[in-house]
Structure 1
Amino acid sequence: MGGLHNTTNWESVSSMFIRLLPLLGVSLLALPVLELFASIWLADEIGWWLAFWLFASALVGLGILKSWRATTAWALLDSVRAGELPLGRLFWVARTLVAALLFIFPGPISDVIGLMLILPWPGGKTIRFGQGSAPTTPDDIYEGEFTRVDESARPLPHEARK
């Protein structure tokens, strides 16, 4: 049996996504309104620093997008050539793209969400194409070669100085 395994997991993920789609739509419509209210409140609190913050976060977002394109594209291409579907890496690419766009979008709420997305998360599974569940091997076994050295034939460095 080749290909991707555990289709029920993919089906549950897709059904969960379909159930959350209306919530995503409402969130996308509400975000600009919330950003406007948060920006007005912050402008009253910190003054012109808000303009500096929004300009700096847009520059950060553009910088992330610029560096994101080349590095992630080559890393994903290498993984696909090796016959892997790196779920963690694919998720990281999507998170980085969304975070960069949120930094470019003006507003403090989108900046906080973008910051949460760009910070590293634990995990990252990899699915190998065309392989079933392989038996696990212990991680403390290393292959290598060695040669025995007769310790009595060779003097130690501090003994050679005497």
Structure 2
Amino acid sequence: GYVRQNSENSRYHLSTKLVAMGFQYLASSGADIVQPILDRLAQETGELVRLGVVDGERLTWIAKSQGARSGLRYDPDMGRDAPLYYTASGHAWLASMSDAMALAQVERQGITPPEGVGPNAPHSNVELLERLRIAREQGYACVEESSAIGTSAIAAVVRSPLGKHVVGVLSVA
């Protein structure tokens, strides 16, 4: 099974079968194919480069490469969903949708309380929609001190080979 119980304390733990299933998903997602590209971009920029994939109504970071060799490094865990309301990745993905769809998507995910984000995070849906409008015009999204003080990021969507739908987001932070 995917879960096993510890006989000493009766607590449940995830099994290695679940981990193996996760690795199978990553192999089929193309993350292994794109890793050299992420590595090169991280080396050239000296920044964290991440790939997020769209999975239904979620944008999940599945691959990364850290370009910073010293000093302050931003290096969050992979496998987390990208917060849509205040990240460059979230804004890039939301900008690929209509305003109504974007707001519905944010509502489904929820909004982090103001104390959990940077000082430049959007403070209203009106402000968010203005940022999405700018991202649509530019073809990419930028944030500065939106997630946390001292951080900035830029992100653009990755489209399917025929360009009909968004399959992921590439970000540099």
Q: If the TM-score is normalised by the length of the shorter chain, which range does it land in?
A: under 0.3
TM-score under structure 2 normalisation? 0.23
Higher RCO (C-alpha 8 Å, min separation 6): 1
TM-score under structure 1 normalisation? 0.24
Kindly indicate which of the two structures has a greater share of residues assigned to strand.
2
**Bigger Rg, structure 1 or 2:** 1
